[in-house]
Amino acid sequence: MNTITLISENSASIVKIDKGELVSYIKNNEELIHQKGTPGWRNADTEMFPIIGPTDATSFEVSTPKGTCIQDQHGLLRELNYTLINSSDKSAVYQKIYQANTEVKNTKFPEKSPKEVVFWPYDFSFKKSFELTNTALKITFEIAAEKGMPFMLGYHPAFKLSGDFSEICKSENQRVTLQKIMDGGNTAYPILNSKHITLTKKTGTISIKTTGFKGFMFWTEVPTMLCMEPITAYPYTGGEMLSKELFNSSNGIDVFEVLITPY
Digit-coded pLDDT (tens) for 116-175: 999 999 999 999 999 999 999 999 999 999 999 999 999 999 999 999 999 999 999 999
Tens digit of pLDDT for each residue in 195-235?
Answer: 999 999 999 999 999 999 999 999 999 999 999 999 999 99
Pair 23, 16: CB distance under 8 Å: yes
| Whether the predicted model's global pTM rises above the 0.85 cut | yes
Cα 164-165-166 angle, rounded to 5 deg: 90
Q: Residue 157's closest CA among 15, 6, 9, 8? A: 15
Q: Summarize pLDDT for 96-121 with one digit per residue, the tens.
A: 999 999 999 999 999 999 999 999 99
How far is Cα 170 from Cα 191, in angstroms, rounded to an integer? 9
Bridge partner list, 210: 258
Query: How far is 32 from 143, CA to CA, in rounded Å?
Result: 27
- Mean pLDDT of all residues belonging to the chain: 96
Q: Which amino acid is at 93?
A: V
pLDDT digits (tens, 9 = 90+) for 34-80: 999 999 999 999 999 999 999 998 999 999 999 999 999 999 999 99
* Distance between CA atoms of residues 149 and 172, nearest Å: 32
Sheet of strand 253-262, all strands in order from the earlier edge strand to the far edge: 83-87, 91-98, 124-132, 137-145, 253-262, 204-211, 196-201, 168-170, 175-177
DSSP the chain: --EEEEE-TTSSEEEEEETTEEEEEEETTEE-BPPTTSTT-S-SEEEE-S--S--GGGTTEEEETTEEEE--TT-SGGGSPPEEEEE-SSEEEEEEEE-TT--EE-TTTTTT-S-SEE--SS-EEEEEEEEE-SS-EEEEEEEEE-TT-EE--EEEEEEE--SSS--EEE-SS-EEEHHHHHHTGGG-EEEES-SEEEEEETTEEEEEEEES--EEEEE-SSTTEEEEEEES--S-SSS-TT-GGG-EE--SEEEEEEEEEE-
**Hey, which CATH number is domain 3-262, 2.70.98.10, 3.40.50.10440, 1.10.3190.10, 2.40.50.150?**
2.70.98.10
